[in-house]
Structure 1
Amino acid sequence: MASSSSSTFITLALFLSLCVSSAKSTAKFDELFQPYWAPDHFTFDGEAVNMKLDNFSGAGFSSKSKYMFGRVNIQIKLVKGDSAGTVTAFYMSSEGSKHHEFDFEFLGNTTGEPYLVQTNVYVNGVGNREQRLNLWFDPAADFHSYSILWNQRQVVFMVDETPIRVHTNLEHKGIPFPNDQAMGVYSSIWNADDWATQGGLVKTDWTHAPFVATYKAFEIDGCECPVTTADSDNAKRCASTGGWWDQPVLSELNVHQNHQLIWVRANHMIYDYCSDTARFPSVPEECEHHRH
């Protein structure tokens, strides 16, 4: 059994390395993205992009194309020092009132306090699926990778390739899953001191502005969807292409990844909507199936 397990793990490792290497790992920002908010708040330093927040404006960028299934990854170095009140977000989203969305939101804090990472999943316009955790490193000291893997079976949020959240397709249980709308990839930085730090108790100190987040290593490897094509047609095409993201080996976490996720939840999670009985007297249905 040991040799069989070892062989399986090696096969998986090789497969994942092929998946990652097939991505546009050296793509420059302007090949994949464009500023959509406050272009004068961007500066470019070689392959790195700096996006700033000051008391005049935040800033944001978006992908030039939309995608259905695949993987997106960006390396980010978050705002240094006192970042209280600020939010830096990296997310995927479709459009409209019934949109789907996968969020990373980095909640700033006072100097010396840990950054919090909030993830959320919107399905058909409904969110309220927040989880918060503290990281096992200082995300403002250096670049770290933040990734979203999306296929027909699951959505996986990863930090430096460690899974921190899995949202599983439970359509067979009558629970909607985001698999029918093309999504853009976005990032933004803005002032959210009404809620971001200690529930809004700590406000943004503008004497520390500008607040700067830095990005590099832009990767998108997914089923690209023409804007002129209907979502229903894109969904059929992207579900039937046999893309790498739909290989059986990626239909669920492997044993090592499951252990990593259990470790993250046990040691770093500080809030899970599934456990918030004040907000949800009846446990949300998907929570019963997502417990690890």
Structure 2
Amino acid sequence: MTMATLSSAFLFIFSCFLACSISVSGRPATFLEDFRITWSDSHIKQIDGGRAIQLILDQNSGCGFASKRRYLFGRVSMKIKLIPGDSAGTVTAFYMNSDTDTVRDELDFEFLGNRTGQPYTVQTNIYAHGKGDKEQRVNLWFDPAADFHTYTIIWNHHHIVFYVDEVPIRVYKNNEAKNIPYPKFQPMGVYSTLWEADDWATRGGLEKIDWSKAPFLAYYKDFDIEGCPVPGPANCASNPRNWWEGTAYQALNAMEARRYRWVRMNHMIYDYCTDKSRYPVTPPECMAGI
């Protein structure tokens, strides 16, 4: 192969690399690279040169932040260390939201605080084409305030999966062929908030927040968003070569399916699919499986 041929090959590979780089946004980032504070900036403190942050809830205020951009399909992941000790009445939320008033799409992690010694509950919810009320609750099988754990949402054309570390706790399949709504048209931003919700968060509001334990502190690090930014290349979201659209991410593998069943058998404490008081007729998406 001549030097000219080698040079042409290198330029071709480099141009392909650049094309992929501008189509798909993603890398572990410092906080201010990808995010902005949305409320109460005095209650969010940067740590370790912006590679981690502390969220603060006290009687004056909670706080929140959001991604600077919105994304259509991809993966978002953060490591979070939740409020230790007596966290009843608090909610630490990590979610994606289309930020549209009437026809909202949203994918929620909500960590519901509890009394000291009781398990932390994570509630997931999904809004598709404006319809939500799809809550599931799982008691975490570890102490999420003792150390950082990774919370991830994968969203592609095939399904949405919520992961705790590498364990899938929620799967929502794309069943548009059965006329079941699936979020795929609206880009979503990435959000997080720490706030007081003692009217519902812990045992349905029976356990109230104990302000003598304030301030309540949660920590975040390893912010990682990989997806198609909007505005951005128009063909990115439909590109089947995006890694999150690959065969390995179109359904749970055998190990993930076992872990998913284990969570549902041993740690699920509420599933809207089986709540006959709310849904006398089982919602159609609940019969779609994984």
TM-score range, shorter chain: 0.7 to 0.9
Q: CA deviation at 1:174?
A: 1.0
1:23 to partner: Cα distance: 4.6
Determine the structure 2 residue equivalent to 1:279.
278
User: Paired residue for 1:240?
Assistant: 239
Amino acid at match of 1:115: Y
CA distance in 2, matches of 1:48, 1:152: 31
Correspondence for 1:32: 34
Aligned residues: 263
Cα distance in 2 for partners of 1:216, 1:165 equals 23
Q: Distance in 2 between the 1:172 and 1:121 partners? A: 19
1:91 offset after TM fit, Å?
0.2
Distance (whole Å) between structure 2 residues aligned to residue 249 and residue 211 of structure 1: 39
SS in 2 for 1:253: coil
Equivalence for 1:175: 180
Q: Secondary structure at the match of 1:133?
A: strand
CA deviation string 1:103-142 (max 9, x = no partner)? 0000001111111000000011211100001111100110
Structure 2 unaligned residues grouped into runs of 5+ = 1-24
Paired AA for residue 66 in structure 1: R
Say whether the 8 Å CA contact 2:137–2:270 is kept in structure 1.
yes
Corresponding position: 1:52 with 2:56 = yes
**d(CA) in 1 for partners of 2:181, 2:118:** 37
- Deviations 1:6-25, CA, capped at 9 Å, x for gaps: xxxxxxxxxxxxxxxx9513
Secondary structure of the corresponding residue to residue 255 of structure 2: helix
Which whole-Å CA distance do the structure 1 matches of 2:82 and 2:254 have between them?
31
Give the structure-2-normalised TM-score.
0.88
SS in structure 1 of the partner of residue 193 of structure 2: strand
State TM-score, norm by structure 1: 0.87
Tell me the secondary structure at the aligned position of residue 88 of structure 1.
strand
Displacement of 1:241 in angstroms is: 5.8
CA apart distance, 1:248:
2.0
Instruction: Please state if 1:204 is matched with 2:209.
Output: yes
Q: Bigger CA drift: 243-252 or 162-171?
A: 243-252
The runs of 4+ residues in structure 1 deviating greater than 4 Å are none
Quote the sequence identity (%): 53
Out of 67, 77, 83, which is 1:79 matched to? 83
Deviation at 1:240, TM superposition (A): 2.8
Uncovered stretches (5+) of structure 1, i.e. residues with no partner? 1-21
C-alpha contact (below 8 Å) 2:240/2:246 kept by paired residues: no
TM-aligned CA deviation for residue 161 of structure 1:
1.4
